[in-house]
Amino acid sequence: AKATQVSRFRRQVKDVIERFERNASFIARLRNSSSISPQEVLPINALQSADPQGQAPLRSAWLQSATIGGDLKTLMEKRNAKVEAKEEEDDDDDEEEATGAEEDGKTA
């Protein structure tokens, strides 16, 4: 069973490497087909949007990671809001206890 996991991992890594190589050659073809310099902003923006059909090999992986990242961000924001609300509630409880202790000390 252990060998199966290693071979599966090797296949996955090989697949990722092949995707990167295809993406690099895709980008090289786009760059070679254009006559712009790296300092020209407008043509570079046009080059970035030159893939309207989503033919870039890593585009699907990028879109998937962007979706996962957005979902993760939403989850983290909800979690942080809950934590902040709990901390505020705890602070209010602490203030009430401190105020109650001061009043008890004054009457004694």
Which amino acid does the sequence have at 29? R
The parent domain of residue 92 ranges over 58-108
Asked if residue 21 and residue 67 are part of one domain, the reply reads: no
Asked if residue 78 and residue 50 are part of one domain, the reply reads: no
Q: Give, for all 108 residues of the chain, the pLDDT tens digit.
A: 455 678 888 888 888 888 889 888 888 887 777 776 666 777 767 766 666 556 666 666 766 676 776 777 787 888 888 888 888 887 777 666 666 655 555 554
User: CA distances (Å), 69 to each of 1, 13, 48, 61, in order?
Assistant: 32, 22, 21, 12
SS3 label, residue 48: helix
- Structure tokens of 83? 């934590």
CA–CA separation, 31 vs 10, rounded Å?
Answer: 31
Asked if residue 91 and residue 63 are part of one domain, the reply reads: yes
Asked if residue 46 and residue 84 are part of one domain, the reply reads: no
Burial status of residue 57 (CB atoms within 10 A of its CB: 0-12, 13-18, 19 or more)? middle
Asked if residue 2 and residue 50 are part of one domain, the reply reads: yes
**Which residue among 17, 33, 55 closes a domain?**
55
Asked if residue 64 and residue 14 are part of one domain, the reply reads: no
pTM for this entry? 0.38
What's the number of domains the chain is made of? 2
Asked if residue 103 and residue 84 are part of one domain, the reply reads: yes
Asked if residue 51 and residue 1 are part of one domain, the reply reads: yes
